Amino acid sequence: MASPNTNHEKSWVVGRVMALSKVVKEKVLGICRLTKEIAKDDPRKVIHSLKVGLSISMVSLLYYYQPLYENFGLSAMWAVMTVVVVFEYTVGATLGKGLNRAIATFGAGALGVGAHYLASLAGTTGEPILIGTFVFVQAAIASFIRFFPKVKARYDYGMLIFILTFSLISVSGFRDDEVLKLAHQRLSTIVIGGSACVMISIFVCPVWASEEFHYSISNELEILGNFLEAFVHEYFKISKEGDSKDKSLLEGYKKVLNSKCSADSLANFARWEPGHGKFKFRHPWDLYLKIGAISRQCAYRMEALNAHLNSNIQVYTS
């Protein structure tokens, strides 16, 4: 016969298991609801995920297909890594990262091979010292250049890849005599991975940063217009009835206040994109940024108007 303590422990364990299963079920259902909401809100995000999977599958053939693997070897994994880090949601972001990575890899690879050649002239004793010196100097200079405002805005990723590639080529070349082959394989696989990203991003359901930027600026102006209309309505409504109900339009200006980082990023990505549709080459994106800045200034003044309106509401309700 089981003791009361044993039965109590069993019931406690069963209760804990049931509670845990309920929590897990709620978490899973919550994730499913969130997934459905995101996919329904913007189906392009689902398409973007499929595009990334397609790109990785394509460049993986370099590793799976034996003739291609014999040409590239383990360097074929650099193509997969390139897709993972380069493929972005918009065409402009993908182009920017892809070109930054390709140019930085080519430049750093050439300098790395040159540094390896110069270091080899110093003999067995001086070679590691010179290689270490070259790596230190280029890393220090490139890291400092990253603080330049224009470089930070558009070429920061390229500078990181430059530091990484130069260091890998220089250090790897110290133990591997086929440094030219190593540099060629890495550059080729990175170009292949980047090209796959760019082609799929442009030709398969493209998401243009220029269009996103254009719509975001127009949406901000519409939000400000809706605020002014709602403010006039609410202000005179309070004066007559002393009641205020719908506040959604009066809170929209807050989205405009926090839009600077998003606007700067979209403008940067839009500059990388080729001419398409109504957005031709050298489109005046700087004017868009000025309009965005003026919109934020208007939003700050609307914040003051909203505070004045709220103070009037408190007076009339009291």
Phi (first) and psi of residue 279, to 5 degrees: -100, 90
Q: Which residue has the higher pLDDT, 306 or 206?
A: 206
Cα Rg, the chain, nearest whole Å: 29
Name 276's bridge partners.
Answer: 279
* The predicted structure's pLDDT at residue 168: 82
Average pLDDT, the chain: 82
Q: Which residue from 255, 195, 180, 196 is spatially nearest to 223, judged by alpha carbons? A: 255
- For residue 68, is pLDDT > 70? no
* The predicted structure's pLDDT at residue 246: 56
Rounded (5°) CA angle 107-108-114: 95
Contact 212, 90 (CB under 8 A): yes
Tokens 């309920």 correspond to: 22
- For residue 233, what pLDDT band results from cuts at 50, 70 and 90? confident
* The predicted structure's pLDDT at residue 280: 75
Q: Which residue has the higher pLDDT, 235 or 82?
A: 82
Domain extents in the chain: 11-40, 44-203, 209-317
- For residue 170, is pLDDT > 60? yes
Per residue in 92-134, pLDDT (tens digit) is 999 999 999 889 988 888 888 888 888 888 777 788 888 888 8
What whole-number distance in Å separates Cα of residue 202 and Cα of residue 91?
6
* The predicted structure's pLDDT at residue 200: 92
The pair of structure tokens assigned to 249 is 């339009």
pTM: 0.79
| 274 φ/ψ sector (left φ>0, alpha ψ -120 to 50, else beta) | beta
What whole-number distance in Å separates Cα of residue 50 and Cα of residue 46?
6
What whole-number distance in Å separates Cα of residue 237 and Cα of residue 191?
63
Say whether 276 sits in a helix, a strand or coil. strand
